[in-house]
Structure 1
Amino acid sequence: MDSLSELVRLLSPSGTVDLHCRVAGAWSAHNAQAPAGHMPYHVILDGRANVTIGKDVLPVSAGDVLLFPRGAAHTLASAQRTRRSGPPRGTASQRFNGVVTEITVPGADAPLDILCGTFVLGGGAGILLRALPEMLCVPTAGPSSGEAGHDAGWLRGLIGMMHAEAETPRPGGAAIIADLSTALFTVLLRTLISRGTVTRGVLALLADTRMAKAVDAVVGAPERPWTIESLAQSANVSRATLARRFTQLGGITPLELVTTLRMERAARLLQQDNLSAAAVAERCGYASQAAFGRAFSGQFGVGPGAYRRQQRSLRTTMRDAV
């Protein structure tokens, strides 16, 4: 399995499309800070808008996909040059069409047509989101030739299907949109890597030909007794180069990546009641159960046994709620 597929599996993303909005005139909409593990996104289907995050203002237009890796608060507003700001004029209408909530606000200016949703990520989100900017914009308009163009074509196709399912609800529409949005997440990550858009974090390491070899090696077998020297050999670089590039690009040391991937594997294995903590430790590359326990507690704040009990209790609670 390639590194991106394994990292996506680690994140266990699930996607939702919550709103389909068509708003015109002078308007603004604030989005509060999202909970941990929630990555809001907006797909601009038609029209133009301005997005403000902190002191930065970015104009966006049809075909742009906005991602907020750590759920940062942000404001979307009309791109029209009008004196009035704040709530839009006209009588707003809102209805749930069986798949998404539709919000329509009339106005004299060209409307913004936008899908708003959220990617909900699993426990491994930290390693992927570390060092990413607060906001990413992925344009999908443009030619369809070359690798980047191919991914842009895929994105346009996915967005088109999501738009169709949201606009004309049919049986199974909610499930289809959920699956399409999860696929959208993966293609967005692949596009960011192929375009070299992200300059920091694990995605930046994957975009670097030599460092990607080291990441591939760890992702493929995190249980191996990796050292700086063996990882440098897998990337065909010196130990100093490996350490320097990991710090510069990834904001993480090579052995921190090893430990993080081991611990995420351990967390998944501990949810299987048929495996003892000792067996999990061995599968994750630890000869000593005590060393495994210390590493696990450092990552999750609780020991392997307590984590397993927490997960078992959570599954029971969710089952009883159904």
Structure 2
Amino acid sequence: MDDALTRLAQLTRVHPRLDLLCRFADSWALPHDPEPDGAAPFHIVSRGSCTLELPDQRRSLALVAGDVVVLPHGARHTMRSDTALPHHAGPIVLTESHNGAVTVRTNADGQDASCEVICGHFRFEQARSNPLLAALPDALHLAAGRDAALARLGLLVEAVRAELQEARPGAASIAANLASALFTMIIRAHMDQANELRGILALLGNPTTGRAVVRMLEEPARPWTLEELADASHTSRAGLVRAFRKQADVAPLGLLAQLRFQAAAQLLTSTELPVSEVGVRVGYQAEEAFSRAFKRHFGVAPSEFRHAAI
């Protein structure tokens, strides 16, 4: 499963961006509007505690130092102190400065900050057809400080904080790369902790369907038949189809097509390979057939897709 997760993370093409280092004192609240498709805000609590409210879901999450929360689908939310602002309170006064690595936002005004939060975004390529993104819930909350199994996640959080705090040369680049690794660790922890998985993560978590998905990820260009995938999964063709439908409401060969197009999109945007070679690498021997199928999936021809990404 770990190798499959590595490949899936590579196909997902996540670009982290660290926006703010927020330092707060007293009572405070900051609302965040919904994000566009493909933009997933995240918050890392590096000191103190706070609350994340999800008004559309009518729930809130209590966060403490070491916790990470990601909103994969850009949900509207509010970050606030544990004690809510009085109804008559006006907007909080914030000052901003850049420390050489990140913008620092604060209302402390010379006071010691009781809460510190690192805020950023993960940007997903091809968000509308991304099987990993589709499998994620509205909110991913990892309580690194409360679970010994997530000790390494806590160390990574502290490393990000230290880079932004010290603001030494190269700190912004180092912190962003650490955040990219953090995303994969968050997905792995979600698979370990979640009571219920969905989509491709549910398929990977099931022994029968997981074998088939691993084989697809290992050899996306192979002309897989349903019978070959069923044999690899130690089940019948009908059994494999039923298992895929039950776990993720998708057909095995339908998922294979999604993974192939995800791989093709990655090759088009990250290499200069000819369109014909990209097609071969994802299982299409004829360029014309690949271009037609790609356009049906993404709405544009491969060459247009590549040009738009430049």
TM-score exceeds 0.5: yes
Residue pair 1:49, 1:112 contacting (<8 A) in 2 also: no
Distance 1:21 1:307, change over 3 A: closer
Q: How do residues 62-211 of structure 1 correspond to structure 2 at under 5 angstroms?
A: 62=64, 63-80=66-83, 83-84=86-87, 91-106=93-108, 111-123=114-126, 126-144=130-148, 149=149, 152-197=150-195, 199-211=197-209
- TM-score using structure 2 length: 0.87
**What is the RMSD computed on CA atoms of the aligned residues?**
2.7
Matched residue SS, 1:141: helix
Q: Distance in 1 between matches of 2:183 and 2:39?
A: 12
SS across alignment from 1:66? strand
> 1:106 deviation in Å?
3.5
Matched residues in 1 for 2:51 and 2:240: separation? 42
Paired with 2:241 and 2:231, the residues of 1 have a C-alpha distance of: 12
Are 2:64 and 1:26 equivalent residues in the alignment? no
Sequence identity (%) = 33
Distance apart, 1:187 and its partner CA: 0.8
Query: In the alignment, residue 101 of structure 1 is paired with which amino acid?
Result: T
Partner deviation per Cα, 1:178-204 (whole Å, 9 max, x = no partner): 111011011111111222455212122
TM-superposition CA deviations, 1:84-133 (whole Å, max 9, x none): 376565x5332111111212224999833211111122236621111432
Q: What CA distance in whole angstroms lies between the structure 1 residues aligned with 2:240 and 2:141?
A: 29
Seen in structure 2, the aligned counterparts of structure 1 residues 42 and 86 have a Cα distance that, compared at 3 Å, is farther
Q: What is the alpha-carbon distance in structure 2 between the residues aligned to residue 232 and residue 2 of structure 1?
A: 20
- C-alpha separation between the residues in 1 aligned to 2:251 and 2:135? 13
Q: Is the 8 A contact 1:14 1:182 kept in 2?
A: yes
Question: Contact (CA 8 Å) 2:191, 2:197: kept in 1 or not?
Answer: no
Tell me, which stretches of 5 or more residues in structure 2 are unaligned?
Answer: none
Is 1:27–1:87's contact at 8 Å kept on the other side of the alignment? no
Unaligned runs of 5+ in 1: 316-322
Measure how far apart 1:139 and its partner are. 1.3
Alignment of 1:19-58 (within 5 A): 19-45=20-46, 46-58=48-60
Amino acid at match of 2:274: L
Does residue 241 of structure 2 align to residue 240 of structure 1?
no
Q: How many residues align?
A: 304
- Give me the whole-angstrom Cα distance separating, in 1, the residues matched to 2:191 and 2:140: 12
* Residue type of the alignment partner of 2:69: L
Give the aligned residue type for 2:175. Answer: I
Q: Which amino acid aligns with 2:141?
A: C
Q: Residues 51 and 94 from structure 1, CA distance in 2 versus in 1: closer, same or farther, beyond 3 angstroms?
A: same
Normalised by the size of structure 1, how large is the TM-score? 0.84
